[in-house]
Amino acid sequence: MDDKGSLAKVDAGALSREQQEKLRQFKIKTRIDNEKYLKSHPEVDVLIGDFLRDVLLKRPANIYEFAADHFTDPNLHATIASKMEGNSHVQ
């Protein structure tokens, strides 16, 4: 039998147990940091939700152009601020 596909062969690119644990801890910390950031910036949720709603309603043929137009709209800040005010009593 050929050993080339054998699991017994050492994978030089594999992480050691210590490296795996460090990676796991890094992933956990990153996720916690991301969640803290998103909780402290609720406008991100409104901004993304507004964009997705428009995409699904309008179903643009060129999503890249649509996204560029959406996020460079000079009224975007006011639109999101208005929606944030409207959501403040819901939260």
Per the domain annotation, does 11 fall within a domain? no
Q: Does residue 2 have a pLDDT over 70?
A: no
Mark 14-26 as b/e (b = at least 16 C-beta within 10 Å). Answer: eeeeeeeeeeeee
Per the domain annotation, does 7 fall within a domain? no
Per the domain annotation, does 69 fall within a domain? yes
For 24, the token pair is 């796991």
**48: domain range?**
18-87
Please classify residue 35 by burial: count the beta carbons closer than 10 Å to its beta carbon, then call 0-12 exposed, 13-18 middle and 19+ buried: exposed
Per the domain annotation, does 1 fall within a domain? no
Q: Which of 17, 19, 9, 78 is nearest to 46 (CA)?
A: 78
Per the domain annotation, does 79 fall within a domain? yes
pLDDT confidence tier of residue 13, bands split at 50, 70 and 90: confident
Other beta carbons less than 10 A from residue 3's beta carbon? 7
Per the domain annotation, does 28 fall within a domain? yes
Number of structural domains the chain divides into: 1
Per the domain annotation, does 13 fall within a domain? no
pTM of the model: 0.64
Per the domain annotation, does 52 fall within a domain? yes
pLDDT confidence tier of residue 91, bands split at 50, 70 and 90: very low
pLDDT in tens, 24-71: 999 999 999 999 999 999 999 999 999 999 999 999 999 999 999 999
Residues contacting 19, CB < 8 A, separation 6+: none
